[in-house]
Each structure stands twice: as C-alpha cells, then as structure tokens.
Amino acid sequence: MSGSSPVPAVSLKDFDTRKDEITRQLVKAAETAGFFTLIDHGITIDEINSQFALSEAYFALPHEVKGRIPHDIKTNNGWEYKSQIRQSTGTADQKESFWIQRNSEWPTDEEVPNFRDTTKNFMGKCEQISKKVLACLSIALGFSEDHLNKSMDVEAPDNLTQMRLIHYMASENAAGTWRAGNHTDIGCLTLLFQRDGEDGLEICPGRESHNDHAIGDTFHPLPAQTGPIVVNIGDMLMAWSDDRLKANFHRVRAKDVGKSADRYSIAYFNTGRKNIIMQGPLKK
C-alpha cells in the first residue's frame, strides 16, 4: 500500500478496447483489498455535486417531513434516523439515511425540487458503471460476460438494488461512538460517492486472518474525494465467487477528540434479484 489511498484506482477510459486490461486490474484488487476506486467512469463532478446538493436539501427537511416516508425493510424505501445497530458495536450508527429503489416513494418536488428525476438519472448512471465492472468480474471468474448482470436486472420486480443517501451529523468528542460500525456489505457490489474533505471511511483490506467483526484489526483511512467512486465487493459476490473476491470490513469514524463536521455519502448497492439462485464456479 502506498500514497494517500490504500487501494488502486482503475480507469474505465476506452472501456471497450481496454476491457482485458481493466479486468486484470479489477480482479486483482477484488481478490486482495476487496476495494478499488474507479476513475474516468463517466459521471461528471457537476453531476456528483448536484446529487449531493439534493441529498443535503433532503436531510435539511424537518423530521416530520422526512418521517412521511419511514424506512420499511419490506420495500427497502424510506428514512431512518440513528436506527441501524451494527453487530460489531451493538450501538446505533450516528447517522440518518434515505433508502430508495426505482419504484420507491420519493420526496415531492415541493419538498426537494428535481429530487426524483435527478436521482433516477444518477441511479441509471450507477447501473451502467456497475454493469461494466460486473461484466469484467464475470469473465475473470470464468463465466459468460453477462452472468452476474443477469441476476441484476434492475427492471425486474424482484430486484433489490437500492441507493442510500447518508448523512452523518456534525459531532464533538465522538470517542465511543461510530458513524458506521465495522461491517461488510451484504449485497453484491457497492459504489460509494464521497466529497472532498469529508473523510472518515476506513477500510480493512486484505486481511490474512480475521477475528469476529475485525475488531482489533488494522484499518486504513480511505481519504474522501469528489470524483473517484469507491467500489467494494459485498458478501453476495464473495459467495458467488467461491470466496475468491473478498468482502472486507470497513467503518466510518468521527474524531475521538474535537469537532467533526457533517459528512454526506451516497451508496449504490447492487443487490440482485430475490428469485434468482446463483452459484460460484465450483457449484458448491
């Protein structure tokens, strides 16, 4: 690991002609750190900033308005406030978040102008990028190029892929609390957007051995940058690759001592279809 980022940056430039090289880079990172960043992915800084502006506008709404769509685990849609308790910490993450799927209920244009159209468009771009990565990983695993994407069809009514807007509230002397406790992602592949200066994400890449929830293991900060997309392998893809691709632990911290400003992040969780059975190459 070197430089300011503990994970490799992979460029998607000229994807069609560089697919073999990109595949090699992606699979190497996915087999070790379980994390990489994507650059030249086609979403502009303006588009990313606009999506974050909508997220800030949404979270600035009064609790009564956000509570109009409460988080529902059956629909994967809605707002939660300091409610997610991680197994690793047993305490609630110090954050609020809004979960959305394509067929979700959305804030109205009066509540947050253009929220729905802009966010749907942004989700569509995340889907296109995810498709490229999943095509490469399918090939690397010895499957046909469309193997992983077949389980992902976002138009299918049983698709569970979702976007999550996250807001970590400003805090002071946060020792003993977590913005997001140690965890691996349960889905297939996560795309995460951060903004310059809003650090706090820490990852635990390439552990040779691990203990429960990676407590006591070494975590490395992954500096926040507007532009590069942080991508990580989730538990599903680890299973579907017979453990070859690694779902690694990560967490988000505020400063133990002193003030931490608000932090916003946007995660796109490729989760796949509920009614499709997937197996790894060894058909275990």
Ligand X SMILES: O=C(O)CCC(=O)C(=O)O
Binding site for ligand X (CB under 6 A): 166, 180, 185, 192, 194, 201, 250, 252, 265, 267
CA distances from 214 to 91, 174, 180 (A): 16, 20, 14
Q: Report the site for Fe ion in 36-65 (rule: CB under 5 A).
A: none
β-pairing, 9-11 vs 35-39, is: parallel
Taking alpha carbons only, the member of 130, 85, 122 closest to residue 106 is 122
Size, binding site for Fe ion by CB under 5 A: 1
CB of 222 to Fe ion, least distance (A): 12
How many Å apart are CA 160 and CA 163, to the nearest integer?
10
CB of 161 to Fe ion, least distance (A): 15
Considering the complex, state which of residue 123 and residue 252 has its C-beta at the smaller distance from Fe ion: 252
CB of 99 to ligand X, least distance (A): 10
How many Å apart are CA 75 and CA 158, to the nearest integer?
10
Which region among 1-9, 16-24, 27-35, 185-193 touches Fe ion (by CB under 5 A)? Answer: 185-193
Instruction: List, in sequence order, the alpha helices (H) in 32-94.
Output: 45-59, 63-66
Q: How many CB atoms lie within 10 A of CB 104?
A: 19
Q: Which does 166 bind (CB under 5 to 8 A by kind): Fe ion, ligand X, none?
A: ligand X
- If one asks whether residue 185 binds Fe ion (CB under 5 A), the answer comes out as yes
Considering the complex, state which of residue 138 and residue 184 has its C-beta at the smaller distance from ligand X: 184
- Tell me if 193 sits within 8 A of 52, measured CB to CB: yes
Considering the complex, state which of residue 127 and residue 185 has its C-beta at the smaller distance from ligand X: 185
Q: Which does 33 bind (CB under 5 to 8 A by kind): Fe ion, ligand X, none?
A: none
CB of 192 to Fe ion, least distance (A): 7
Considering the complex, state which of residue 67 and residue 221 has its C-beta at the smaller distance from Fe ion: 221
CB of 177 to Fe ion, least distance (A): 17
Q: Which does 167 bind (CB under 5 to 8 A by kind): ligand X, Fe ion, none?
A: none
CB of 106 to Fe ion, least distance (A): 23
Considering the complex, state which of residue 23 and residue 232 has its C-beta at the smaller distance from ligand X: 232
Residue 61 is encoded by which pair of tokens?
């709404």
Q: Which residues pair with 165 in a beta bridge?
A: 98, 266
DSSP state of 213: G
- Tell me if 8 sits within 8 A of 232, measured CB to CB: no
Residue with tokens 């932090």: 263
Binding site for Fe ion (CB under 5 A): 185
